[in-house]
Amino acid sequence: MNDPMKFKREDYVIKILAELAEGKEYEGNQIGPEHTLEQIQVVADLIEQGCVDGKVLRGNNGRPVCIGFPRITSSGRERLTSLLSGPATKAPLEIAEGYWKKATPPTLKWIAGIAAAIVIAWLLKRLGLK
């Protein structure tokens, strides 16, 4: 099912943003003739998201067929750095340890509150106030 020739949108987003960040100039200052329609659609989507600046030229069917004067924007550079850093992949044990570190203080507070209530109830009964 995983076709090696299948277009990978996320990989192309990183590739095009990296090329634009490096200042690559395309033939005729356009993304079009040497790119597939899927690749052009990705760049058009990046323009709509504000990551790339350029002019989208649409065909008769409304699909983008060419991108004129593409260049990366500051938000595109931020997105590129976030994509390159990638999500931190953690092992299940690390995830559980992180969960317990976050959950421990409230759990201990809850247990301490119960223990304090029991001690107060015991003192009140021992002193005959209840």
End-to-end CA distance of the chain: 72
Decide if pLDDT at 36 tops 60.
Answer: yes
Q: How much is the mean pLDDT over the chain?
A: 82
Q: Is the pLDDT of residue 8 over 70?
A: yes
Q: Say if residue 39's pLDDT is above 70.
A: yes
Q: What six digits make up the tokens of 28?
A: 């005729």
d(CA 27, CA 128): 93
76 CB-near residues (< 8 Å, 6+ apart): 17, 20, 21, 46, 50, 51, 52
| Residue range 81-129, pLDDT digits in tens | 888 886 655 566 666 666 666 666 777 778 888 999 999 999 988 888 7
Average pLDDT over residues 65-83: 89
Beta strands in 28-124 (DSSP E): 30-31, 52-58, 64-72
pTM of the model: 0.60
